[in-house]
Chains A and B, each alone.
Chain A
Amino acid sequence: MTFVRRPWRLAAEASALLIALIVAFPLYWMVLSAFKPAGEIQSTEARPWTLSPSLDSFRRVFEQQEFGRYFLNSLLVASVVVIASALIAFLAATAVTRFRFRFRTTLLIMFLVAQMVPIEALTIPLFFLMRDFGQLNTLGSLILPHIAFSLPFAVWMLRGFVKAVPEALEEAAYIDGASRSRFLWQILFPLVFPGLVATSVFSFISTWNDFLFAKSFIISDTSQSTLPMALLVFFKPEENDWGGIMAASTVMTVPVLVFFVLVQRRLVSGLGGAVKD
């Protein structure tokens, strides 16, 4: 913006950089602590660098338990949820934006209301539901509820993207003899894909981060555990193993960061599209 005066802009830029440093500091400290040798972590000096990085903490993380397995479990749960909820939400969003039918508005309001439901409050009935279907201690008990909880937001957000595809395109496709499903999957789907990516960020994160269901539904079979539970093992009543905690935290954070970097551009434009609507 050209009308901002120069000294002000420099001050603004300096503070932007400073704030960026502060915001990034916790992540820097996490990675740093993960690489610090045990002696330096336990030292009361808390230096912001290390001259002798070591992989001991990571080694401890991967050796102490079936951490690799937990990692794969987390990845599997999150991937299934992302793909399933994206497909289901795409179909539902198409239905509510490109058709007029009875109860359409009611349904939309229900999708909105469903977003507000605190999933944590449903842990108790879901626990009994999973028990009755013999799903406790399985990854299914994590996948199914997360699909359900990602859906309302995904439908609500995708609505804007589906709406943005011009109707003339649809008319043209039908005139050219395309069937409904052909239009749906070969024309609409690719066009809405950026929106699907933006939406899937939210379902990926909420699933990957899930701690409550993992803690409540996977009660005895630890081979089905996910990462958050593995992390908690390093908290000990006598003395927390901070090196292990930070290394495990790093391992858990990196995939989400990678995912974010990959979709960053689409996320920002996607959010803009969704809120402009």
Chain B
Amino acid sequence: MSGTTAAARRGGGWTPWLYLAPALVVLGGLLVYPIYQLGLISFLEYTQAQVSGGEPTTFKGLGNYATLFEDPQFWQVLLATVVFAAACVLATLAVGCALAVLLTRVRAVPRLALMTAALGAWATPAITGSTVWVFLFDPDFGPVNKVLGLGDHSWTYGRHSAFALVLLEVVWCSFPFVMVTVYAGIRAIPGEVLEAASLDGASQWRIWRSVMAPMLRPILVVVTIQSVIWDFKIFTQIYVMTNGGGIAGQNLVLNVYAYQKAFASSQYSLGSAIGVVMLVILLAVTLVYLRLLRRQGEEI
């Protein structure tokens, strides 16, 4: 902001609030209020009986959380969610960054081909992506088992292979965002800088590590955080590919677990408590993100 006249007008009185009003109304009603409700329900006894009005709602305090934390399945699901999300984020970032670098090494035609294919994967809705990948790995009719000569090996039967299959689909549909964003970032680095490094005899790996990575840091932070948030919240892929959480719930992640608790067994308060746990974890991630942004000295 510069100039006193501009600064004086810039306050704008009520104008900014007028512009903000629609957004604040929508967010207040459909985001803030539901979060408050989520917290509230997690402290109540709230099952089918209370929903239909058959029984009065009673306050349970931390009872739902106690039930949840005593349930070994909850801890198992939490661990699975964290490990699975971490694996997805790492794989997505590795593939996305590698291909972004590859894009800068090739001429227009292969670049266009890879870009187009990636945009196709990106555009594919999670649910259709899930159905297609399940079909590709189908034990009876899928091409993958035919090519690998695995006979009628079922990928969704084992816990790890089912998670691996979902991971492949997740990486497939989320690496394009990383690739396109990092590629745009690399293109924004002045060519002379890279040329100078290479003239000085730096290896490709060295250029990436000592020149490009530091310059790309802000972008890498953005794509990492976005990936963490997306992959931690995965619902559709698990739900569709493992048929609602796998055999005996072996492939449950927090989101699907909360959904099953609430809508399949009508334990709305337990489902809400799981939701609160997720909210808290993601809030912690956000705080880390904010600190990183601040350290970069970015003005918000």
Contact = CB atoms under 8 A, between A and B. Distances in A.
A122 interface: yes
A125 interface: yes
B68 to A, nearest CB: 14
B131 A116 contact: no
A171 B6 CA distance: 8
A148 B188 contact: no
A48 B34 CA distance: 48
Interface stretch (B59-67, B71-79, B272-280): B272-280
Contacts of B7: 100
B290 A12 contact: no
Interface string A51-95: 000000000000000000000000000000000000111011011
Nearest to B143: A46
Contacts of A211: 126-127, 235-236, 239-240
Interface string A169-210: 001000000001000000000000000000000000100110
B121 to A, nearest CB: 5
Nearest to A9: B105
Given A9-B106, A29-B135, A148-B27, A16 B283 contact: no
Contacts of A108: 300
Interface string A228-255: 1001100000000010011001101100
Most chain-A CB neighbours within 10 Å: which of B29, B34, B289?
B34
Contact of B16 (A101, A152, A246): A101
Interface string A208-222: 110110001000000
Interface of A: 1, 3-4, 8-9, 12-13, 15-17, 19-21, 23-24, 26-27, 29-30, 33, 41-46, 48, 87-89, 91-92, 94-96, 98-101, 104-105, 107-109, 112-126, 128-129, 144-145, 147-149, 151-152, 155, 167, 171, 180, 205, 208-209, 211-212, 216, 228, 231-232, 242, 245-246, 249-250, 252-253, 256-257, 259-261, 264, 267-269, 271-272, 275-277
Given A26-B121, A114-B27, 10 more contacts: A3-B198, A17-B110, A24-B116, A29-B136, A46-B141, A92-B23, A104-B16, A250-B128, A253-B128, A275-B185
Interface of B: 1, 6-7, 10-12, 15-17, 19-20, 22-23, 26-27, 29-31, 33-35, 37-38, 41, 99, 102-107, 110-111, 113-114, 116-129, 131-133, 135-136, 138, 140-143, 146, 172, 180-181, 184-185, 187-188, 191, 194-195, 198-199, 218-219, 222, 229, 232-233, 235-236, 239-240, 255, 258-259, 262-263, 268, 271-272, 274-276, 278-279, 282-283, 285-286, 289-290, 298, 300
